[in-house]
Structure 1
Amino acid sequence: MTEFVLASGSQIRRQILDNAGIDFTVEKPDVDESVIKDRRSDLSPAGMALVLGKAKAEAVSRGRPRALVLGADQTMELDGALLDKLPDASLARDRLMAMRGRSHQLHSGLALYRDGECVWQHQQSSTLHVRAFSDAFLDDYLERAGFALTASVGAYAFEGLGAQLFEKIEGDYYAILGLPLLPLLDALREFDVIPA
């Protein structure tokens, strides 16, 4: 079988791959996302997710000959604007108030690299509809959410307490978590990482 490397520091991506029974190692890429975002400000939020995922895979792939390296990223779009993770939890109230009763998009970008070359890529988007939650709910959520307020761009972990923010989603559960699993599994079978 081919050596498979996840070029990501994301705990949820590791968990998804673990739960799917995939053998992999982890190497966090040395990529400055802010530099890429500045240089490629012409890209759509969806395009940015793919470019960031590719940059991560390429960075790790250069030092891992013959390994298949997965890079992944996710961006959030609200009213056409690309939003970044919050620098501190004190800003979460404003972000969540801006999202209340409205829809936003999460864009996932995946890339597989081998020997510094892209051999597969995938981009997938989901639309999430935030319910018109009460101020009391928001106060309680902010008190309980903890790390999720700054760990994800939307100030929520959809797989946990953050699910209570939503009335409807349009898209794939795994894509919302930042790793569209089924298309990735197809690719891993093709590249002899998992049995077909």
Structure 2
Amino acid sequence: MNLVLASASPFRSALLNNAGLEFEAVAAKIDERAVEQPLLEAGLPPADIAEVLAIAKAEDVSARNTGALVIGSDQVLSLDGEILHKVADMEGARRRLLQLSAKTHHLDSAIALVRDGEVLWSHVERAALTMRSLSPEFVGRHLAEAGDTILSSVGAYQIEGVGIQLFEKIDGDLFTIMGLPLLPLLAELRRQAALEG
């Protein structure tokens, strides 16, 4: 069965590669903010918004890949009920880390499976991450060490690297934090007979 990941994210591709899956990565061509705006206006919670975006990405790629089983995914970061988006530059990263300092934020990571436009399954996992109190001086040193790869992360950190030093407590698994709840996905792929076992 042809498996397609509806994402250009190297992190999501690495997770699937490391799990031994054979797949093709195809970026979805949707305007995420345009999809998200009416959902925000309707007052939907972050988990629902992440799920709708994951489905929209999978549906978009499914329309161009007949017969393929398409994996869509999305992640939403929220702080005190407000949804935050990726920052544009290192100054934005500095402000983001200081904004998250000494607070707990949430990551809602959604996945969906779509074949020929039909949503077969979707799932959302949530992680709660508490940052320790960060001084502006530490944040500056941290960003210099981490480099601009952190700009690919909505939180302006990567916990699989030096970003782990920012945190005091984490409730949730690494795959959810990285944006692809892998264990539920693998279980569903086995159920769909897309994986043996």
Q: Same fold (TM over 0.5)?
A: yes
Conserved 8 A contact 1:86-1:149: no
Aligned to 1:26: 25
Aligned to 2:95: 94
Aligned to 1:174: 175
* Pairing 1:67–2:68 present: yes
Aligned to 2:121: 120
* Pairing 1:7–2:14 present: no
The gaps in structure 2 that reach 5 residues or longer are: none
Map 1:103-182 to 2 at 5 A. 103-182=104-183
SS in structure 2 at match of 1:40: helix
SS in structure 1 at match of 2:87: coil
CA displacement, residues 75-125 of structure 1 (integer Å, 9 cap, x when unaligned): 100010000101222112221111111100000011000010100100010
CA distance in 2 between counterparts of 1:92 and 1:12 reads 19
CA distance in 2 between counterparts of 1:140 and 1:63 reads 45
> TM-score of the superposition, structure 1-length normalised?
0.96
SS in structure 1 at match of 2:70: strand
Across the aligned residues of Structure 1 and Structure 2, the Cα RMSD in angstroms comes to 1.1
CA distance in 1 between counterparts of 2:159 and 2:75 reads 13
SS in structure 1 at match of 2:5: strand
Letter of the 2:127 counterpart: S
Offset at residue 7 of structure 1 (A)? 0.3
Aligned to 1:44: 45
CA displacement, residues 25-66 of structure 1 (integer Å, 9 cap, x when unaligned): 111111110111122222211111111100000001112111
Offset at residue 136 of structure 1 (A)? 3.0
Paired-residue identity, %: 44
Letter of the 2:2 counterpart: E
Conserved 8 A contact 2:111-2:123: yes
The gaps in structure 1 that reach 5 residues or longer are: none
Deviating more after overlay: 68-77 vs 151-160? 151-160
Aligned to 2:193: 192
SS in structure 1 at match of 2:177: helix
Query: How many pairs were matched up?
Result: 195
CA distance in 2 between counterparts of 1:82 and 1:46 reads 11
SS in structure 2 at match of 1:124: strand
CA distance in 2 between counterparts of 1:88 and 1:143 reads 13
Letter of the 1:38 counterpart: Q
